[in-house]
Structure formats: C-alpha cells, structure tokens
Amino acid sequence: MIKTAFLLLLQAAALAAEPLVIGPAAAAGTVYFLAGRKSRTRVRLGAWLFLAFFAFLCLTGLAEGAFGISIPDYGRYALLALRGYASFLVALAGTMMFSLSEVLCFLKKLRVPGYVLTMIYLMIQDLAVFNRLAGDTHRTVRSRAAGLGRLARIRLTINAAKNFVIFAALKFRYRHEHILARGLTLDLPLDDWRARERLRQSG
Amino acid sequence: MKPELRDVSLASVFGAAALALPVLFHALGLGAAFLPMFLPLSAAGFLLPFRVAGPLAVAVPAASFILTGMPPMAVPPTGPIMMLELGFLMAANRVLHHRLKLNIFLAAALATLAERLFYLGLLYLAATVLRLPRIAFSLAGLVKSLPGTILLLTAVPAIVTVVRKHRIS
C-alpha cells in the first residue's frame, strides 16, 4: 500500500510538477537506472522513444507552421516529452518494486474476474519463452542471412515468422493438455502464493 | 457464461505474443510502424469469442505498461488509445467474419480500414486536448503505421489460416 501510494505520488509529480523539478529528477533517475544491469536496456529504449516522440512533434509542428495552420510551440512539445519520459521512469521503478502475485492480488481486490487474472498469469509465464525465442530467431535470421540477396532474406524472415507462429500454437496445445491433465481451474490460489512469498521475504 | 479454459489458454498465448513482439520490434526501432501488439490480438479477434478476446484489449497494454513502462498511459496517452483501438479491431473482426460470414481476407480489410479511421479520430481528439498540431499529428500518425496496416491485411489472415490448419483453435 505504501509502495503504491509512493508511486502514485511520483507519477502525479511527473505529470504536474514544474520543469525545473522534473528535469533534474529525470536526469537523476536516468543515471540510477543506467547503473542497473537489468534496467539499462529499458531506460535506453525509453529515452530513445521519447526523443523520437519529441522529434515527431517538432516535425508535425513545423509542417503545420509551414502551411499556416497553427504556430508551433516547441517549448510545450519539449515539456510534454519530458513529462512522458519522467512518467516512464516512474513506471520502470514500479516494475522493480512489485512481484507478479502482488499485482494479481491487487487486481483481485479490484474484483477483476478470475479468468482475466488467469489469462494475465499465463501470459506472463509465456512471455519469457516468447522473448527468448524472438531473440534467438532474430539472431538466427541475421546470421543465416549474411551474404544472401534481398529476396532470400525476406523468404528466410517469413519462414522464421511462420515457425514462431507454429511454435506458439503448439505451445498452446501442450499447455492446454497439461492444464486439463492436472485438473486446474480458472481460480488461481493467489492468497496462498502471496502468503508463501511473504514468508520467504521475512526469512 | 463462464469462458472455457481452452479459450483462456489460447488467449494467453496470443497475449504473450502481443507482449513479446513489441519488445523485439522496438529493439529494432520499428515499433510504431509495424503495430506489433496489434498482429496477435487481431488474430485473437478472429479465433476467440469476444468475451475472452475483449479483455485482452485492456489487459495487454496494461500488462505491457506494468512490465516495461510502455506504452505510456498519460503523456502521450498511447495506452488508453491502444485499448480502444484494439477493442474496436477485435470486435470488428468478430462481427464481420463470424456474424456476417465474410471471407477472412475481406473481413480483415474492412475491419482494418474501419479501425484506422477510428484511430484517426482518436488521434485528432488527443491532439486537440493536448494542444498539439492536430491535422499534421493525426495524419502523420496514420501514415507512420502504414507498414503495420499492410501486415494486418495480409499476415493476420495468413496466421489465422495456419492456426486453423493445425486444428489448434
């Protein structure tokens, strides 16, 4: 509860505080996250995306300015991009503060239906496998495509994408059979998981 | 009526693919152009009943935000816009293909066209609220996602056909 309140406070600050406060705070947050091995890639990606968002706003503003439709306000675009980036950093902090069962328990308290919770749980479990496969597929395509012509590269990529889909479909079939064999239902034992997690955390 | 475990399980596979693909595409700098989250979810719209596929429209962007911080939920309001778009696309796929019995490629084409117009309206509204260059912002957003639109028209019906051919849904 305290963690959630703290994050909401930070999120509100990212969206409403003065630029002179958000700027240094975002810089400090960036430095902090860049130091962590897990968060480094994410924070780079976020910085790149919000920079692209700022460039996109400037270009559209410039285009409308050139046609006399509106007057571009670059300061406002910069402030929006900065607020967005600060809000992203707060979300990133949130990802490191909560476990999956904590999030699911919170959603359960909000009376989210059991099947949505089950769906989210299974989704997150599958995500690691899909991420790994997507990374491996990308590397394989790149290495096998070295020296090939454009058409052969496209064929190779399509084939890899097809394999990805077939893998996903097969994974679904096996997982479904596994769930049926174990007689699992749509109601996850979230409270038990959370109690066990608390026990582990308390040592 | 309570959804079947089989449908929920298939929905979670599409949901996981919708969470993983944006990470891959964003790493290559192609995220906004290729609509990676839309591809598996549009397929889910064809294969699953709306009462199971519908929650994915909200759960996937929200889960992605919780896991990765993307899509942003407030500035810019990409997350809420995506939730509305995805819900609209999945409902359109379902209605056109299952209720009106249209061919899958035709249904995908009509649903995508309707969804892009809906998206244009949402962008215009968001740009007005945020005081951004409305016309250029909405049109540029639409043009930027053209490669993804082409994939929605071609790859999604093909994926659905592959999944059906393997008798998985």
Token couple for B77: 């309001």
**Percent of chain B scoring above 70 in pLDDT:** 92
- To probe the interface with B, which of A59, A89, A96, A115 has the most B CB atoms within 10 Å? A115
Which residue in the set B9, B60, B67 is minimally distant from A175, CB to CB?
B9
pLDDT of residue A5: 87
**Percent of chain B scoring above 90 in pLDDT:** 36
What's the CA gap between A166 and B161, in Å, rounded? 11
> With 90 as the cut, is the pLDDT of residue B13 above it?
no
Q: For chain A, what are the domain ranges?
A: 2-98, 102-201
Report the amino acid identity of residue A179.
I
pLDDT of residue A184: 67
Judged by a CB distance cut-off of 8 A, whether residue A45 touches chain B is: yes
| Cα of A85 to nearest chain B Cα, Å | 8
Q: Do A119 and B131 touch (CB under 8 A)?
A: no
- Ranges in chain A, pLDDT < 50: none
List the domains of chain B with CATH numbers. 5-165 (1.10.1760.20)
Burial-class residue A14 by CB neighbours within 10 Å (0-12, 13-18, 19+).
Answer: buried
What's the CA gap between B60 and B44, in Å, rounded? 12
> With 80 as the cut, is the pLDDT of residue B125 above it?
yes
The pTM (predicted TM-score) of the whole model is 0.82
Q: Do A116 and B59 touch (CB under 8 A)?
A: yes
Confidence of residue B169 (pLDDT cuts 50, 70, 90): low
| Cα of B126 to nearest chain A Cα, Å | 13
Q: Which residues of B touch A56 (CB under 8 A)?
A: 140
A-B contacts at Cβ under 8 angstroms: 181
> With 80 as the cut, is the pLDDT of residue B15 above it?
yes
pLDDT of residue A110: 86
Judged by a CB distance cut-off of 8 A, whether residue A132 touches chain B is: no
Q: Do A45 and B26 touch (CB under 8 A)?
A: yes
Confidence of residue B12 (pLDDT cuts 50, 70, 90): confident
Three-state SS string across chain A, please?
A: CHHHHHHHHHHHHHHHCCHHHHHHHHHHHHHHHHHCCCCHHHHHHHHHHHHHHHHHHHHHHHHHHHCCCCCCCHHHHHHHHHHHHHHHHHHHHHHHHCCHHHHHHHHHHCCCCHHHHHHHHHHHHHHHHHHHHHHHHHHHHHHHCCCCCHHHHHHHHHHHHHHHHHHHHHHHHHHHHHHHHHCCCCCCCHHHHHHHHHHHHCC
Q: Which residues of A touch B12 (CB under 8 A)?
A: 118-123, 126
Q: Which residues of B touch A19 (CB under 8 A)?
A: none
Q: Which residues of A touch B66 (CB under 8 A)?
A: 91, 94-95, 98, 103
Judged by a CB distance cut-off of 8 A, whether residue A76 touches chain B is: yes
Predicted interface score ipTM higher than 0.85: no
Q: Do B24 and A134 touch (CB under 8 A)?
A: yes
What's the CA gap between B169 and A103, in Å, rounded? 30
Taken in order B15, B17, B18, B22, the sign of the CA dihedral is positive
